[in-house]
Structure 1
Amino acid sequence: MSKKKAQSMTVASVLTLAMITGCSSNNDTSSSPSAASTSTAAATKQPTATLKLAVLETYPGVTLDNKTTHYIEEKTNTKLDITVIPSGDLENKLQVMLASGDKPDIIQLSTDTLEMKLTKSNVLLPLNTYFDKAPNLKKFGDGGLWDIMKHNDNNVYTIPIRGSAIDNIPIYRKDWLDKVGLKVPTTLDEYYAVADAFTNKDPDGNGKKDTYALSAYTAGGNVDLSSMDMVFSAFGTLPGNWILQDGKLVPGAVAPGALDALKFLNKMYKEKMIDPEFITDNAARFKDKVIKGTVGAPVYRYFLMDTSNINNYYTPLKQNNPNAEFVEGGILKGPKQNGIGYRMLTQRGWLKTAITKDSKNIDAAIRVLDFLASDEGNMYENYGEKGKDYTLDNNIVKQLIKDEEIKAAGIGQLKLAFNFMYNHTSQRFQELYKFAHTIGYRNPADGLVIDDNSKATELGQFTSQQFTKMILNEGPIDDLFKDFVTEFYKRGGTDYTKAMNDAYLAKTKK
């Protein structure tokens, strides 16, 4: 096994097991023989194949010459020649490599735009044509995932890195609710009463008026308003998602209900129920305010209720105030309708793996991905070797090695056909995980791929800027919203909406 690193001026983010979450069967399958063992047995009958990989660098500065890589090589009868690329340079470097005469066998990409470009250029292998040889890979898409990944030609070209579909739900400071004598709200009117009490009835008992129901934070120069989604949902929309109306997709930002949601938030802001620093705080500051008791009723991480302290939310909360306690909430009923739920991450994934069509070792590449998609391979990639790296206590994974040792062993380093697992979390977290997925809003446009998706980012930024302006506005916002809708469509919203609807109709007709 050899490892090379693409040169870059970009400092990549460290993506560790403790920082990225995902879905799980919550079963120990580390010793499962089944398809993985069958695949391994078949592999040993073949000559060792050398595969070239160009993949995301997950552990900067950490060698891939480690026991996990060797374990994969042994199980699949391969030698892996791996080039890792920092996240900021992934797609640019990848396109340079593909343009050369020395194409990798297995690649990773992060955007639908590049995926579409590569499929149209006939660079990627249709993976579904090999599912009969790869039972684990085929099973990986159970539950409709492969339908989401299909292109208009009915082929699947990439494998998404699977993770949690929803991390943020309404959460409420239970100790504050108890103090002000209120219950978890189920309607928008009840939420307003909670927000008012959290702002005006000194729920933390410090004698100061320094608490709020809501806040938000800036990301990429724009305000991320997703922490306020319980309000948008109650009015039947979610900015940044698509709403299906009369068989057509409508952008959530301009859908009916968006104006009423903004009026409600504008009223909350005027009544000082929203932290005024939401326009300047970053994500870290927002998290700190939730943990330290400034904000008590946002849509945010249910990790705050996990005693196993995934992603380090619960322990800081308790260290700051041992009596602090959050409780989950559901979908709020609005004045005219039931809410629609909370935004879910795309099932197409934040990172995708593909095999190049011109690979001379397609069978070996399929073998590697099929093994990693198996119960055995996925358990090893998540937790390592049972008995040495982890053990089980009442079916809960207990880590036996430290975080740095996890990295050195390469556990979680090669996320090729990967399903994040939560076997190491508390029973409470696993219950919350299941609950969260029952109140998520499934975007009807999820899985649609169009030639040019660049307008999505531009329109999203424009929406954030204008929505923030309307929440802060001192006067009526009806005319502001009307002007926003007009400008939204002028800035490319018309063509973008048409492209998405064309793609939706093409996919739903099949």
Structure 2
Amino acid sequence: MSASRRSRLLAGVLTLTAALTASACSGGGDAPQTDSNTITVMAKLFGTAPDPNGEMQQAVEKFLGKKLKVNWVPNAEYTDKLNVTFASSNLPQVMVVDPHLPGFVKAAQAGAFWDLTDKLDKYPNLKAADPRSALNSSINGKIYGLYRMRPSLRSAVMIRKDWLDKLGLKLPETVDDLYDIAKAFTEKDPDGNGKKDTYGLIIPKWPGNYASASPYDVVETWFGAPNEWGERNGKLVPGFDTPEFLEANKFLKKMVGEGLVNPDFATLDSAKWNDPFYLGKGGIIIDVNIRSRALLDKFRDEKDDPAFYGPKVAMVGNLKRSDGQKFSYPFTGYADVLAISRQSVPTEQDLDNLLKTLDKLATKEGQVLLQNGIEGRNFKPEGDIAALINETDPKVEIVQKDVDNAFTQLSTKGTNDIGGLAYARTPSGQPYKDMLKLQKELMEEDLKTAVFNPALPVVSPTKVARGAQIDTIIPDARIKFLSGEITEEQLKGEIKRWYDSGGTQVAAEVNDLVSKLGKTN
């Protein structure tokens, strides 16, 4: 979508949502009639849409005692579809949405979605499991949706263990160790084929903006840069306006220049991120820790023998800076929220009925259904793991895909490996069990040094209004700097351009909003 078209769509949100709100509050006009036996939802899709008459949907409907009508929208198209929907007169009852998406912020503040801040205490399964994550998902302290639980700390480094072993290398503890391993993987023939055809670090084209959990953001935090916003000299400043940000990127630029990073790092499809690791082209990935299990999957698909796939993948947590100090990269604690439309849920009674249904869905039984599937059909519990079964049955494969591609989007409490209620979704082989145990240990350890973003709960009005124009300035400049297209001075010039293009006002508003939030919490 072009910037001009996006601006036109967002500009219409305030006018249209005001009309929606007036209609919703009155319960009259063109507001749709609610059907207490049907729940309408808009959610993300990561593959083929489930059959509305399929096993999974029938199981969910049976559990709830209600019909479920879901508009599954492919993830790549989701933001555009949301903006169009916000500007329409046909909002579903429940929408999976990024609570800080500018279009949603405008719509929520205009009254198009229910403010749930003081409404959840009487629903035992909808109370926030983690107050920090709930606050992070708010808009300046107001809760407009049920946050979907994610770990607060899941950054990690995945490494080809067989390459480490072949070269006699130890797991890294510092950024300097990471550089040394990447250099050895590039120059010392870790696959033993007699050719210099490997590299160390694998980075894909990153689809998000600055501070979107990219490998760059993680490394910058390791060097001591703030996690998006941090205090310097008594005020909050963006992390990219610090010496540590520059030092981290000079480190990465050196790795790129020496060929220690995949040469297509600016264009590699993120959906193919695992391929160079599995195919023996690169040996290091910086990402969320659950990618370790996805990497094991690649080798397991080749040969389902723990003695074969087990020795392929090693994992460590966040790395120390050269001076031994450790700064770990945390996450928001949530991934989207379930927001409730005041147009389609117009009265307090309608809201209560829907929240009771969502409360049932948030029980352990409901979360296991959404996250794991149908017990005895596509999985069986083994301790705290959902071990896959009947994997060669085509009909069961559809159930598993419906879970993975779609129904997990309706889950709010996550899996037990991240503090949630459902089982960890993984095969039952010992390498997976070992990796799951390590994952938990690393998360607990790195939380001690996590660098949290104090500005996560606040939304700058200027950022909402001008985000499309300024959000790409820093990530674009960073890629150009790493590629050698611009100098350090030119990178600093782009940082100044961010300030001149509205960033100065954003910074002032963030400082003001955080100050006010501190006085009310």
The answer, yes or no, to whether TM exceeds 0.5 is: yes
Match of 1:341 among 296, 311, 328: 328
**SS of equivalent residue, structure 1 residue 209:** coil
Q: By how many angstroms is 1:135 displaced?
A: 0.9
> 8 Å contact 2:481–2:488 — kept in the other structure?
no
Q: By how many angstroms is 1:170 displaced?
A: 1.6
> 8 Å contact 1:244–1:250 — kept in the other structure?
yes
Counterparts of 2:114 and 2:208, CA distance in 1 = 38
> 8 Å contact 1:333–1:339 — kept in the other structure?
yes
**SS of equivalent residue, structure 2 residue 40:** strand
Q: How many residues align?
A: 453
Counterparts of 2:406 and 2:49, CA distance in 1 = 15
Please name the residue that 2:425 is paired with: 424
**Cα deviation 1:226-267 (Å, max 9, x = unaligned):** 3355642332126x7223334532222222212222222232
> 8 Å contact 1:161–1:352 — kept in the other structure?
yes
Moved more, 57-66 or 425-434: 57-66
> 8 Å contact 1:85–1:93 — kept in the other structure?
no
Structure 1 residues 387 and 187: CA distance shift in structure 2, 3 A = closer
**SS of equivalent residue, structure 1 residue 364:** helix
Counterparts of 1:323 and 1:414, CA distance in 2 = 27
- Aligned-partner residue type, residue 90 of structure 1: K
Please name the residue that 1:141 is paired with: 129
**SS of equivalent residue, structure 2 residue 509:** helix
Task: Determine if the alignment matches structure 1 residue 392 to structure 2 residue 378.
Answer: no
Structure 1 residues 318 and 210: CA distance shift in structure 2, 3 A = farther
Q: By how many angstroms is 1:296 displaced?
A: 1.8
Counterparts of 1:311 and 1:202, CA distance in 2 = 22
- Aligned-partner residue type, residue 233 of structure 1: T
Higher RCO structure, 1 or 2 (CA under 8 Å, sep 6+): 1
Match of 1:226 among 214, 217, 237: 214
Q: By how many angstroms is 1:107 displaced?
A: 3.5
Counterparts of 1:467 and 1:353, CA distance in 2 = 34
- Aligned-partner residue type, residue 380 of structure 1: L
Counterparts of 2:150 and 2:214, CA distance in 1 = 19
Please name the residue that 2:351 is paired with: 362
> 8 Å contact 1:161–1:418 — kept in the other structure?
yes
Which structure 1 residue ranges, 5 or more long, are not aligned? 1-47
Structure 1 residues 416 and 189: CA distance shift in structure 2, 3 A = closer
Please name the residue that 1:91 is paired with: 82
Structure 1 residues 500 and 348: CA distance shift in structure 2, 3 A = farther
> 8 Å contact 2:223–2:248 — kept in the other structure?
yes
Which structure 2 residue ranges, 5 or more long, are not aligned? 1-34, 391-395, 416-422, 427-431
Task: Determine if the alignment matches structure 1 residue 479 to structure 2 residue 489.
Answer: yes
Instruction: Give runs of aligned pairs for residues 248-259 of structure 1, distance below 5 A.
Output: 248-259=235-246
Q: By how many angstroms is 1:455 displaced?
A: 4.7
Match of 2:476 among 442, 449, 465: 465
Please name the residue that 1:32 is paired with: none
Please name the residue that 2:429 is paired with: none
- Aligned-partner residue type, residue 382 of structure 1: Q
Instruction: Give runs of aligned pairs for residues 204-215 of structure 1, distance below 5 A.
Output: 204-215=191-202
**Cα deviation 1:133-178 (Å, max 9, x = unaligned):** 311111x4335333333444x5422112223455541222222223
Please name the residue that 1:20 is paired with: none
**Cα deviation 1:378-432 (Å, max 9, x = unaligned):** 1122233433443223443233452313457999537445333252323223224
Structure 1 residues 355 and 74: CA distance shift in structure 2, 3 A = farther
Structure 1 residues 60 and 215: CA distance shift in structure 2, 3 A = closer
Q: By how many angstroms is 1:71 displaced?
A: 5.3
Structure 1 residues 313 and 414: CA distance shift in structure 2, 3 A = closer
Counterparts of 1:111 and 1:151, CA distance in 2 = 7
Please name the residue that 2:20 is paired with: none
- Aligned-partner residue type, residue 149 of structure 2: R
| Identity, % of aligned positions | 25
Match of 1:127 among 102, 116, 132: 116
> 8 Å contact 2:99–2:139 — kept in the other structure?
no
**SS of equivalent residue, structure 1 residue 94:** helix
Counterparts of 2:512 and 2:180, CA distance in 1 = 43
Instruction: Give runs of aligned pairs for residues 65-214 of structure 1, distance below 5 A.
Output: 65-66=53-54, 69=57, 78-80=66-68, 82=70, 87=75, 88=77, 89-97=80-88, 99=89, 104-112=92-100, 113-138=102-127, 140-152=128-140, 154-165=141-152, 168-214=155-201
Counterparts of 2:191 and 2:361, CA distance in 1 = 48
Structure 1 residues 419 and 491: CA distance shift in structure 2, 3 A = same
